[in-house]
Amino acid sequence: MEIEGLFVIPLQSNVTGSRYSYTWMSLVQENGWHVLLDATALGTKEMETLRLSLFDPDFHICSFFRVFFL
């Protein structure tokens, strides 16, 4: 299958606090897209419960400031 592009999905909006579903990752990967998971809005507790092995994003962004200092 040819890779179509890159789909970036935030887990939580920094502006509104809305959380988005993990199911988008599976859907776009099935259609040949790479997935970049933006977890920069999450704090330490949320990072522990992220369970990335279940959804397997191709790329992952997080904030070390939030993990270590908040």
Give the tens place of pLDDT for each residue, 48-62: 666 666 778 899 887
pLDDT band of 36, cuts 50, 70, 90: very high
Give me the mean pLDDT over the 38-42 stretch. Answer: 80
For the chain, the domain total comes to 1
pLDDT for 19 equals 83
- For residue 34, is it within any domain? yes
Residue 45, SS3? helix
Quote the pLDDT of residue 47: 63
- Residues paired with residue 8 on neighbouring β-strands, in sequence order: 36
Domain residues for the domain of 13 are 6-69
In a domain, 1, yes or no: no
User: What contacts 68, CB < 8 A, 6 or more positions away?
Assistant: none
Say if residue 8's pLDDT is above 70.
Answer: yes
